[in-house]
A = this chain, B = another copy of it.
Amino acid sequence: VIIERLAIVGIGLIGGSLARALKRAVACREIAGWDLDPQAVQAATRLGVIDRGAADLQSAVAGAELIVVAVPLGAIAEVFAALADRIPGGAVVTDVGSVKGTVIDAARQRLGAAFRRFVPGHPVAGTERSGVAASFAELFDGHRVILTPVAETSGDALARVSAMWEAAGATVERLEAALHDELLAATSHLPHLLAYALVDCLAAERHVPDIFRFAAGGFRDFTRIASSSPAMWRDVLLANPDAVLEVLGRFSQRLEALAGAIRAADGRLLMERLAHAKTVRDEFCRRFPALDRPSDPGR
């Protein structure tokens, strides 16, 4: 046992999976949980994901030494505001948001003196499903959790949050928040935007039934991430607009260059760019073997 009392605020896929992983590791004496949606609290209690379903935020965090805020990004500032006066002395607070800059700003504004015991965090794991019913203990196994502490962040708080994620099966890394947001914009936020845009576009084409009927296997993989939670991705995109629009601009230039090569029937240029991309992607897969479960579990 490394944590006496843990409070999880927001019990969806991430909060629920964290609770399950920590139970698997026997890392907590008690896990209390609260969610804006009372049904999520009931489900989590019924499934044995948490030990104690709290009736309100106050009772969830009372006596907690570690508070994990696992609500959607769009609700996080509000939750920080509600938390501010209720954080037990010495308790550590962390979050799981996929964007860190805006979360840090919100925490700095809302958490007051507790800000130095706030550790911004992002578990780079998930599925396209959401909700506590989809949670599972293995979600973080072998995945990275990126912590983005700032100058004020207490080293002790950082160590406690690191220990929690390691107990949950993850590998902990540290990054500057701005770099985190830039990297994730490129490798996660932009791909999601493209997948959503592609499906949105195809759904407006003529011959829609045929389009999907004849879609090849690559299409399924390529668009899997467009089955993710729209509310979550709206929040992510709105929380990281500058980095997303910046990398989107660079992407659009590359895409336009490829389109130009097609228009000009420039096979040499096309071959050069495609071959380069393949080399890079193959090298990526060689250096970083898949951590993931097979994709698209029945969806």
| Residues on the B chain within 8 Å of A299, using CB | 282, 285
Whether B191 lies near A251 (C-beta < 8 A) is: no
| Residues on the B chain within 8 Å of A179, using CB | 207, 210
Closest to A184 in B: B214
What's the nearest-Cβ distance from chain B to residue A169, in Å? 15
| Residues on the B chain within 8 Å of A253, using CB | 201
**How many chain A residues have a CB neighbour from B under 8 Å?**
98
Closest to A227 in B: B281
Whether B215 lies near A288 (C-beta < 8 A) is: yes
Whether A124 lies near B188 (C-beta < 8 A) is: no
Q: What sequence of 0s and 1s flags, for each residue 90-108 of chain A, a beta carbon within 8 Å of any chain B beta carbon?
A: 0000000000000000000
Asked whether any CB of chain B lies closer than 8 Å to the CB of A159, the reply is: no
| Residues on the B chain within 8 Å of A287, using CB | 212
Whether B198 lies near A183 (C-beta < 8 A) is: no
Contact segment of A31-39, A41-49, A81-89, A237-245: A237-245
Whether A197 lies near B227 (C-beta < 8 A) is: no
State the 10 A-B residue pairs at the shortest beta-carbon distance, nearest first.
Answer: A230-B274, A217-B292, A199-B277, A230-B275, A187-B215, A203-B280, A294-B294, A197-B255, A201-B254, A218-B225
Among B125, B188, B218, the residue within 8 A (CB) of A191 is B218
Q: Can you add 18 more A-B contacts, CB < 8 Å, to A191-B222, A199-B281, A230-B274?
A: A183-B210, A187-B202, A188-B219, A191-B223, A193-B259, A196-B277, A200-B280, A212-B284, A217-B295, A218-B225, A221-B296, A230-B278, A234-B270, A234-B271, A238-B262, A248-B255, A252-B255, A290-B296
What's the nearest-Cβ distance from chain B to residue A131, in Å? 14
What's the nearest-Cβ distance from chain B to residue A207, in Å? 6
Closest to A250 in B: B201
Bound form: Cα–Cα A299–B250 in Å: 27
Q: What sequence of 0s and 1s flags, for each residue 260-286 of chain A, a beta carbon within 8 Å of any chain B beta carbon?
A: 001101010011011111101110110
Among B214, B258, B277, the residue within 8 A (CB) of A144 is B214
Asked whether any CB of chain B lies closer than 8 Å to the CB of A186, the reply is: yes
A-B contacts, 8 of them at CB < 8 A, read: A125-B217, A194-B222, A199-B278, A203-B277, A215-B284, A226-B274, A285-B296, A294-B294
